[in-house]
Amino acid sequence: MSMNKIVYIIGLLVLTFFTSCREPEVFPKPKSYLRIELPEHSYQVFEDSCNYKFEYSSLAKVISKPSSPKESCFKNIVYPQFKASLYCTYVALDSNLFQYSEYSRKLAYEHTIKSNGIEEVNLEHADKKVYGTSFEIKGDVACNYLFYLTDSTSNYFAGSLYFETVPNYDSLQPVLEYVVKDLEHMINTFEWK
């Protein structure tokens, strides 16, 4: 063997040794989300001294949040398992229905900047004198669902759904759909006393 061949082979071995002995490249794992097993829907009746009653999820707890006697029928419906709360407000109307309904509409449309769309649905259960509007707000927003209900003369009830987490619509969507189904059931069973 000639000297050039030996130098060439040694050079090739040294080059192979140095290029093959470095740390492997590390690639971060893509973001993933937990799979959530959601139970079957089941409901229980809420009724107390307030001027309304409804059925709500058996996974939730109703908590009274009065800060004054005037607000004694303010409630929070809390889903501890999902870290979600529906903040409910009740007001006895004094010919100011327009003011409250527009406040709810304004609250929903304040999310327009960050939302991907707002689905507004008119609600009517004339046999129970329950009328209102629901707003499903899609996208990474603080409140993905809100509604108001009224008898159009003397009662007004509103609810806003919030999660105790940074809004990420894609990861919240399965739980959001589950809770919204519960809220739609609540709205459909809502009655004035």
CATH of the domain at 122: 3.40.1000.10
- Residue 20 within a domain: no
CB 91 within 8 A of CB 100: yes
At 16 the pLDDT is 74
pTM of full prediction above 0.85? no
At 170 the pLDDT is 78
- Residue 164 within a domain: yes
- Residue 63 within a domain: yes
d(CA 148, CA 90): 10
Number of domains in the chain: 1
Q: How far apart are the first and last CA of the chain?
A: 105
Structure tokens at 106: 């304004």
Domain that holds residue 183: 44-192
At 67 the pLDDT is 72
- Residue 165 within a domain: yes
Beta bridge partners of 53: 47, 191
- Tens of pLDDT along the chain (193 residues) come to 577 777 777 877 777 766 666 666 777 777 766 667 899 999 999 999 999 999 999 999 999 886 766 678 999 999 999 999 999 999 999 888 999 999 999 999 998 888 899 999 999 999 999 999 999 999 999 899 999 999 999 999 999 999 998 878 878 888 999 999 999 999 999 999 8
- Residue 33 within a domain: no
d(CA 108, CA 122): 14
